[in-house]
Amino acid sequence: MANRALAGLRVVEMTEAWVGPVCASMMGDLGADVVKVESYPRHSMTRPVAPRAATMPGEGPVYERDALHHQGNRNKRNVALDVRTPGGAEVLRRLVSGADLFLEGYSAGKLEQLGFGWEQLRALNPRLVMISLAGWGSAGPYVGRSALGSALDASSGYMAVRGHPDGPFEDVTPTVHSDATGSQTLFFAALTALELRDLAGKGLFVDLSQWEGLVWQFPGLLGEWELNRRLPPRTGNAEPTVVPHGLYPAAGEDEWVALVARDDREWAALASALGHPEWAQEGHEWATVPGRLRRREAVDRALAAATRRRPGDELADAVQQAGAVGARVVHSAQIAESSQLRARGWIETISHRWTGPVAMGGFLWRIEPDAPAWERPTALVGEHNDEVLGELGFSPAEVEELREAGALGDHYQ
Amino acid sequence: MCEDTAPPTGDASREPGARPRRAAVRRHMVEQPLAGTRVVELGGGIGGGAASKSFADFGADVIAVEPPGGGELRRQPPFPGDRPHPDHGAFHLAFATGKRSLVLDLDTPSGREVLTRLFRTAELVLGELPPAEVPRLRALIDPRSGPATVWLTPHGLDGPYASRREVDLSLMAWSTRMQRQGLPGREPLRRGPQAALVQAGHTAGAIGLAAWRARRREGLRQDVDVACVEAVLGNVDTAFVNWAFTGVERLYARPAPGQAPVTGTFRCGDGYVILGLTEPWGARLCRFLGTAAPGEAGYDWPETARRLHDYLASHTKRETFDELQAAGVMCAPVLDVSEILEDPQALARGSFATVEQPGVGAVHVAGAPFRLGGVGSEEDAGWRARPSPRLGEHTDEILEELGYTTGERQALARAGVAAGA
């Protein structure tokens, strides 16, 4: 039996890219009834109609074979609606009328124009929790500005500290860290809002600014300014107060191993694993925390000389065995082969109509009893139109009329 | 906005010792959504601290059970004046807001007896611990009526790597993200400091809230095993799924010569901006600069790049942000942490809170991660950042709440099991 932690929760997700979709999948993993509303006839960002780098080669619609889409859409049903048509709008109204939670990722104000703003929806469903996920939030002077994860990275203070300290800043690549963490913020927001709804007996709107969801995660950066009026420097992989703390070359091309010793015990373990126990003997200038800090470059050079002829896996195993931190910088093929991830059954082979069997990463957590399961692989566009509309009280003839009117569909041009 | 979320109001509020702005008293009457819930956080680490932070800020009684001397969260720099102090570090000040601190030596039977009593009063336990310590502490919990449990460890509670030590950098090494931050020919790069560990902790907090809810509503007691590696690797921004789909690893993504980057970092008059150049933004940028758009006759990225360079040279990052966004282009300024405090959007929304921290003074911390009821609503005041506790500040009061007599509390302190501030 799949996990039932959120059984009974009805979720309508009308979001794109990753933050909303991943959150909704987590809810589906825990037994919530999640219906994803995809736009139609315009295709979602993660469902390109022409092949791109993330498209699995093969037969069938390109938009059903995109890795970026499959990453965040398991365990939900799918309806594809043109909510600009009267029929599509009626379907969405009925869906939201019966929902606990409506997640929407449109830019601020857009849904109001379409008749689905908060004031309009609360009249339909007084117990609804509606969460908007605009990048900079749905109030304030930046309303209406577009933001991918890269824009939030740049404007949060997070990008400014990245990159090689000696390199030009143009070489620093923005990350999409807000996408990877925003789904967790949204999940927490949704369950907190549902508690408040039940306490107050009425629904509420939640304004989730992905920027605000990101900035709390870097207290060290803000702290440098707040406590010492200094701007944190770009440090690459180094930590100012830990030596060694970095990546070192391993045997092979572009092979690296992360090595860290946080204290003298870990340093002794690391030195011994690298065949140089003398580095940690009392009296050696690197045997102490201050000694290593003073001689950071010499320590780094010596470590690199000791690592560059040994395979990354073997190094990481030896260092961990001895009692220090060591990890190979892995590529995906090594994830697929990882004895740890295999032992935990983390990688599962999932069958999907157009991708065939494919290895997918597992859940973000294990949970007992009732482990979550891939009950539904990523749904096809509009796959559950008939089923969901039937539950909403549309007769088969009405569904057919809606289809003919272009209000819903199950393929993109 | 409540008292604690008053935005910075200019230089005056940022002087050391400045008082945060006071708002209406009625804000304090708002019921916090997680009030009445007790959460026990174990380990004193950064991941556990991140996991339980929002519980405290939304009103739960979060008791951080800390090892004698404190854990990693309190040792993590920076510190005011660069002087390490367990109560003054930036991570502690940010992640321990509103928690109570109980110092207990869990290596003793006496410490575990106290913990057993504490567990009986809790609805949720969030523990960041070495996996070997988990079974012993889990055994103290009643499997039917006890709190929901979430255990945060590097690789999970079982498997051949379960006892491995990892830190943020090595978790990042496991993430398949590092090459994309690096440059060909140089070592791959991490994200910002502690990003992977905080992400994993954030994940543990989210699933913890679901487990708490299931216990409260359905009577289902869940036991959750969060492996940091899986929490990071199983989310988006991983190369793995892409590789499984295409057989191609995404490494060192750089545009080919003469082609536009997907997202580019560009110098402007007073710093840097980033621009999204996929569609529809690439075509809008071309229109803004008066060049042919991708797909049109005469499209020439190098020519567009030259005009962009000229435009940026004479515009600040703020001007660029305003003008290009008005033209529909996905664009943002690269801001440092002093600038984010003054950002017009952050000021308008009150995105930072001021906490009056004993021994440190008024400190800005990030505000609510989401706005219940919308910005400035009554419900929005359900998020409050209160000061972070001194190490062991609440040891005695919690022991008293748990029913220990004065004599017993003194005996526990004398034996070194429970330490006050």
Which residues from B are below 8 Å from A159, CB to CB? 274, 334
Residues A385 and A254 in one domain: no
Which residues from A are below 8 Å from B169, CB to CB? 237, 239, 245-247, 258, 260, 325
DSSP A312-361: HHHHHHHHHHHTSEEEE---HHHHHH-HHHHHTT-SEEE--TTT-SEEE-
Paired strand residues for A348: A360
Q: Is the pLDDT of residue A92 over 80?
A: yes
Q: How large is the average pLDDT for residues B199-220?
A: 96
Q: Is residue A143, in this structure, part of any structural domain at all?
A: yes
Residues A119 and A179 in one domain: yes
pLDDT score, position B237: 86
CA dihedral (A128, B214, B211, A37) in degrees, to 10, reads -40
State the CATH number of the domain containing residue A304.
3.30.1540.10
Residues A332 and A351 in one domain: no
In a mutational test of the B interface, the residue from A65, A216, A225 whose CB has the highest number of chain B CBs within 10 Å is A216
Q: Is the pLDDT of residue B152 over 90?
A: yes
Q: Is the pLDDT of residue A56 over 90?
A: yes
Whether residue A160 and residue B198 make contact (CB cut-off 8 A), yes or no, is no
pLDDT digits (tens, 9 = 90+) for A270-306: 999 999 999 999 999 999 999 999 999 999 999 999 9
Query: Which ipTM score applies to this complex?
Result: 0.97
Superfamily of domain B31-238+391-419: Crotonobetainyl-coa:carnitine coa-transferase; domain 1 (3.40.50.10540)
Q: Which domain holds residue A328?
A: 245-337
pLDDT digits (tens, 9 = 90+) for A181-207: 999 999 999 999 999 999 999 999 999
Whether residue B220 and residue A320 make contact (CB cut-off 8 A), yes or no, is no
Q: Domain tally for chain A?
A: 2
Q: Is residue A410, in this structure, part of any structural domain at all?
A: no
Q: Which of A38-52, B81-95, B110-124 has the lowest mean pLDDT?
A: A38-52
Q: Is residue A32, in this structure, part of any structural domain at all?
A: yes
Residues A182 and A299 in one domain: no
State the Cα–Cα distance between residues B294 and B282, nearest whole angstrom: 7
* Nearest chain B Cα distance for residue A10, angstroms: 15
Q: Of the candidates B88, B273, B382, which has its C-beta nearest A196's C-beta? A: B382
Q: Is residue A393, in this structure, part of any structural domain at all?
A: yes
The domain boundary residue, chosen from A337, A368, A394:
A337
Residues A353 and A326 in one domain: no
Q: Is residue A226, in this structure, part of any structural domain at all?
A: no
pLDDT score, position B355: 97
pLDDT digits (tens, 9 = 90+) for A372-396: 899 999 999 999 999 999 999 999 9
Q: Is residue A231, in this structure, part of any structural domain at all?
A: no
* Residue B20: band (very low, low, confident or very high) from pLDDT cuts 50, 70, 90: very low
Interface of B with A in 134-163 (CB under 8 A): 150, 155-156, 158-162
* Nearest chain B Cα distance for residue A123, angstroms: 16
Q: How large is the average pLDDT for residues B199-203?
A: 98
- Nearest one of A204, A198, A197, A155 to A175, comparing CA atoms: A155
State the CATH number of the domain containing residue A55.
3.40.50.10540
Residues A130 and A259 in one domain: no
Which residues from A are below 8 Å from B79, CB to CB? 227
Counting other chains too, the contacts that B294-302 makes at CB distance below 8 Å and 24 or more residues apart are B294/B260, B301/B258, B301/B259, B301/B260, B302/B258
Mean pLDDT of chain B: 91
The domain boundary residue, chosen from A309, A337, A365:
A337
Q: Is the pLDDT of residue B163 over 70?
A: yes
pLDDT score, position B10: 34
Which residues from B are below 8 Å from A216, CB to CB? 53, 94, 365-367, 369
Residues A193 and A296 in one domain: no
pLDDT score, position B16: 37
**Ramachandran region, residue A394 (left: φ > 0; alpha: ψ -120 to 50; beta: rest):** beta
Burial class (CB in 10 A: 0-12, 13-18, 19+), A4: middle
Residues A167 and A37 in one domain: yes
Superfamily of domain B263-334: formyl-coa transferase, domain 3 (3.30.1540.10)
pLDDT score, position B15: 38
Whether residue A170 and residue B93 make contact (CB cut-off 8 A), yes or no, is no
Q: Is the pLDDT of residue B376 over 70?
A: yes
Share of chain A above pLDDT 70, in %: 100
SS3 per-residue string spanning B110-150: HHHHHHHHHHHCCCEEEEECCHHHHHHHHCCCCCCCCCEEE
| Single-letter code of the amino acid located at B34 | L
Residues A29 and A68 in one domain: yes
Strands A366-368 and B223-227: antiparallel
Sign of CA dihedral B283, B284, B286, B291: positive
- Nearest one of A327, A359, A362 to A346, comparing CA atoms: A362
Distances (CA, A) of A162 to A68, A289, B331: 25, 26, 19
Structure tokens at A347: 């990688």
Contact (Cβ atoms closer than 8 angstroms) between residue A174 and residue B272: no
Residues A151 and A292 in one domain: no
pLDDT score, position B33: 96
Q: Can you give the residue ranges of every domain in chain B?
A: 31-238+391-419, 263-334
Residues A190 and A252 in one domain: no
Sign of CA dihedral B79, B80, B81, B83: negative
Q: Is residue A4, in this structure, part of any structural domain at all?
A: no
Check if B31-238+391-419 and B263-334 are the same fold: no
Contact (Cβ atoms closer than 8 angstroms) between residue B395 and residue B101: yes
pLDDT score, position B82: 97
Q: Is the pLDDT of residue B22 over 60?
A: no
Structure tokens at B313: 């040279």
Share of chain A above pLDDT 90, in %: 91
* Residue B179: band (very low, low, confident or very high) from pLDDT cuts 50, 70, 90: confident
Q: How far is Cα of residue A47 from the mean position of the Cα atoms in its chain?
A: 17
pLDDT score, position A1: 53
pLDDT score, position B12: 36
Residues A128 and A271 in one domain: no
The domain boundary residue, chosen from A291, A311, A337:
A337
Which residues from B are below 8 Å from A240, CB to CB? 77
Q: Is the pLDDT of residue B11 over 80?
A: no
pLDDT digits (tens, 9 = 90+) for B222-235: 999 999 999 999 99
Q: How large is the average pLDDT for residues B359-377?
A: 97
How many CB atoms lie under 10 A from the CB of residue A221?
25
Q: Is residue A44, in this structure, part of any structural domain at all?
A: yes
Q: How large is the average pLDDT for residues A356-362?
A: 93
pLDDT score, position B13: 36
Mean pLDDT of chain A: 95
